[in-house]
Homo-oligomer: A and B are copies of this chain.
Amino acid sequence: MNQTKKDYHSSENGKTVLAANIAEPFRKEIRETISSQYIERPPKLVGILSNNDYGARKYAEWTKRACAADGITYEMREVPKHKIEEVLEEANQDPEVSGIMIYYPVFGNTPSFYGTSMDDYLRDTICPTKDVEGLCYTYRNKLYRNQRFLDTEKQNKCVLPCTPLACVKVLEYLDEYDNSNVTGNRLNGRIITVINRSEIVGRPLAAMLANDGADVYSIDIDTVYLMRRGQLLETTDTPETCVRKSNIVITGVPTKEYRLPTDWIAPNTTVINVSSFKNIDETTLMKVPGIKYVPLVGKVTVAMLERNLLRLHKNYSTFQ
Contacts and interface: CB of A to CB of B under 8 A. Distances in A.
A118 B197 contact: yes
A124 interface: yes
Contact of A112 (B112, B123, B197): B197
Interface stretch (A14-22, A200-208, A238-246, A310-318): A200-208
Interface in A178-221: 196-203, 220-221
A95 interface: no
A115 B136 CA distance: 12
Contacts of A141: 125
A220 B106 CA distance: 14
Nearest to A85: B232
Nearest to A220: B112
Among A80, A116, A225, A255, the one with the most B-chain Cβ atoms within 10 Å of its Cβ is A116
Contact of A221 (B108, B119, B123, B197): B108
Contacts of A111: 111, 198
Contact of A200 (B110, B114, B198, B254): B114
Interface of A: 80-82, 85, 104, 107-121, 123-125, 137, 140-141, 144, 196-203, 220-223, 225, 232-234, 252-255
Given A113-B197, A113-B221, A113-B253, 7 more contacts: A81-B223, A82-B225, A108-B220, A109-B114, A111-B198, A112-B203, A115-B120
15 contacts: A85-B144, A108-B220, A111-B111, A111-B198, A112-B220, A113-B197, A113-B202, A113-B253, A114-B196, A114-B201, A115-B120, A120-B120, A121-B137, A121-B140, A121-B199
